C-alpha cells in the first residue's frame, strides 16, 4: 500500500483506522520524512486522553473529529527544501503514527526544530529533533527515551525534597513507573508499587520495587517514612485510598499519567496534600537552564544505558506495517501487554 496514517476518534480511542495519506509537493522550508520505527506505550494513550486539554492533537493535524496520536521514534529525510537538512539525515523526535510526514524544519541551537505555525505555541521539548546516527540501542531508545526521560526528571524533581524517604507508585507495571523506581532506589529510597493482580507477581520478580501491593490491598499500605505518591494510573478512587491509608505520612502527591483510562473518575474525597500535575517539559526547561542542554542529555544517556544494562528482563516486541501497528495499538489500549514487553513498530 501507499503512504498512510493511523487516525483515531478523539472521543473514543477504541475507534482507530488506517487511512491513505497524500504527499503534496514540498514548499520552501519543508522536508518529507520516512518513518523508520517508533514505540507505542501507555504514555501515548495518555497523549490521546489529554489531547484536547494539553494540545497533543495539534502537533499533527487530522480531519475534523479525528486525531493522530504522537509517538517517539526515528525518521529519515527523503525529500528536502531545507539546505541544512539534506536527504538521508536521520532524526529522533516526536512523530505521527504514519508511514511518512512533512515538517517545516529549521536548524536550531541544538539540532533541528519544526517551525510550522500550528506548533508555535506548543512546548519546545516536543518540537525538537536530534540528529540520530544508527546505534545498537535504537530500539531501546525508541521505547525508553520518552518514558525514561520522564522517570529521570521525576526523580530529579523529587530528589529536591531531602526529607522524602519513600515513594508509592500506581500503575507500577508501566515503563515510566519502573524507570522512576530504578532511579529512586539507586538514591536509597523505599519504593512501593501498586498494580493489578494480573501484573503484580510479574513485576514483583523484577527487583525494581521493595514491595508490590494490589489495588485491593491499598488499605494496608505503610511506608518507612515521609512519602510521596506518584500517580501514573489516573484513577481517582485509588488516589483517595492511598491518601487515606498514608494519612500524615504522605507529604506530596503527583499526577503523571492515565494508564487506567477507563477507570471511574468519580469525585472520591481526597484528604491530605492536593494532587498536582507533573509536566516533564517544565522540569527539563529548568534543568536545561541550570545545567545546559548538553549536560541534561549526558546525564540522561548515562541513566538510559544503565537501565538497559541492569534490566535484561526487558523484551522488545516488534510489529511490521499498518497491520502490525493496528494490532499493537489495540493491545496497549486494552492493557493486554506484559510488564516486561515494549512494543516497537516499523511502518515500512
What distance in Å separates the CA atoms of residue 36 and residue 144, rounded to the nearest whole number? Answer: 16
Query: For residue 275, what is the DSSP state?
Result: P
Task: Give the residue from 65, 150, 128, 57 showing the smallest Cα distance to 96.
Answer: 57
Q: What is the pTM of this model?
A: 0.83
CB atoms within 10 A of CB 43: 22
> What pLDDT is stored for residue 341 in this prediction?
93
With cell 475534523, the residue in question is: 64
Is there a contact between 259 and 45 (Cβ–Cβ < 8 Å)?
A: yes
What distance in Å separates the CA atoms of residue 99 and residue 4, rounded to the nearest whole number? Answer: 6
Task: Mark out the alpha helices in the chain (DSSP H runs).
Answer: 42-49, 51-54, 124-127, 138-158, 175-186, 197-204, 236-246, 280-291, 293-310, 321-333
Is there a contact between 242 and 271 (Cβ–Cβ < 8 Å)?
A: no
- First and final CA of the chain: distance in angstroms? 10
- Tens of pLDDT along the chain (348 residues)? 689 999 999 999 999 999 999 888 999 999 999 999 999 998 899 899 888 888 899 999 999 999 999 999 999 999 999 999 999 999 999 999 999 999 999 998 778 999 999 998 888 888 999 999 999 999 999 999 989 999 999 999 999 999 999 999 999 998 999 999 999 999 999 999 999 998 999 999 999 999 999 999 999 999 999 999 999 988 888 999 999 999 999 999 999 866 555 554 455 678 999 999 998 888 988 998 999 878 988 999 999 999 999 999 999 999 999 999 999 999 999 988 888 999 999 998
Please tell me whether residue 197 adopts helix, strand or coil conformation: helix
> What pLDDT is stored for residue 43 in this prediction?
85
Task: Give the residue from 102, 125, 123, 84 showing the smallest Cα distance to 33.
Answer: 102
> What pLDDT is stored for residue 54 in this prediction?
84
Interhelix angle for 138-158 vs 42-49, to 10°?
70
Cell reading at 286: 529548568
State the DSSP string of 32-69: EEEEEEEE--HHHHHHHHTHHHH-GGGSS--STTEE--
151 CB contacts (<8 Å, ≥6 apart)? Answer: 176, 177, 178, 179, 180, 182, 183
How crowded is the C-beta side of 41, counted as CA atoms within 13 Å?
28
With cell 524517604, the residue in question is: 165
State which H helix or E strand residue 77 sits in.
Answer: strand 70-80
Amino acid at each position: 500500500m501507499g503512504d498512510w496514517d493511523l487516525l483515531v476518534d478523539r472521543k473514543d480511542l477504541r475507534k482507530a483506522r488506517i487511512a491513505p495519506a497524500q504527499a503534496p509537493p514540498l514548499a520552501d522550508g519543508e522536508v518529507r520524512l520516512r518513518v523508520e520505527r517508533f514505540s507505542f506505550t501507555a504514555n501515548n494513550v495518555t497523549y490521546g486522553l489529554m489531547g484536547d486539554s494539553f494540545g497533543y492533537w495539534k502537533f499533527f493535524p487530522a480531519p475534523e473529529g479525528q486525531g493522530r496520536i504522537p509517538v517517539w521514534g526515528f525518521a529519515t529525510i527523503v525529500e528536502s527544501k531545507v539546505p541544512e537538512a539534506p536527504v538521508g539525515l536521520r532524526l529522533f523526535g516526536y512523530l505521527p503514527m504514519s508511514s511518512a510526514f512533512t515538517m517545516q524544519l529549521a536548524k536550531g541551537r541544538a539540532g533541528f526544530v519544526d517551525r510550522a505555525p500550528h506548533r508555535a505555541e506548543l512546548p519546545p521539548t516536543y518540537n525538537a529533533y536530534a540528529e540520530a546516527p544508527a546505534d545498537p540501542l535504537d530500539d531501546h531508545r525508541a521505547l525508553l527515551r520518552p518514558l525514561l526521560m520522564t522517570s529521570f526528571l521525576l526523580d530529579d524533581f523529587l530528589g529536591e525534597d531531602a526529607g522524602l524517604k519513600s515513594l508509592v507508585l500506581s500503575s507500577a507495571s508501566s515503563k515510566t513507573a519502573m524507570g522512576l523506581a530504578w532511579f529512586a532506589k539507586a538514591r536509597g529510597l523505599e519504593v512501593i508499587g501498586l498494580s493489578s493482580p494480573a501484573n503484580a507477581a510479574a513485576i514483583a520478580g523484577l527487583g525494581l520495587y521493595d514491595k508490590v501491593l494490589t489495588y485491593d490491598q491499598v488499605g494496608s499500605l505503610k511506608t518507612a517514612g515521609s512519602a510521596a505518591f506518584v500517580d501514573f494510573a489516573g484513577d481517582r478512587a485509588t488516589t483517595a485510598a492511598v491518601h487515606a491509608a498514608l494519612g500524615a505520612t504522605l507529604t506530596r502527591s503527583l499526577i503523571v499519567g492515565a494508564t487506567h483510562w477507563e477507570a471511574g473518575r468519580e469525585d472520591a474525597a481526597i484528604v491530605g496534600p492536593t494532587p498536582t500535575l507533573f509536566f516533564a517539559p517544565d522540569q527539563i526547561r529548568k534543568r536545561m537552564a541550570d545545567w545546559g542542554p548538553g549536560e541534561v542529555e549526558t546525564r540522561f544517556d548515562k541513566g538510559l544505558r544503565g537501565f538497559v544494562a541492569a534490566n535484561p528482563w526487558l523484551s522488545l516486541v516488534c510489529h511490521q506495517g499498518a497491520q502490525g501497528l493496528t494490532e499493537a495499538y489495540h493491545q496497549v489500549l486494552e492493557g493486554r501487554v506484559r510488564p516486561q514487553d515494549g512494543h516497537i513498530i516499523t511502518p515500512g
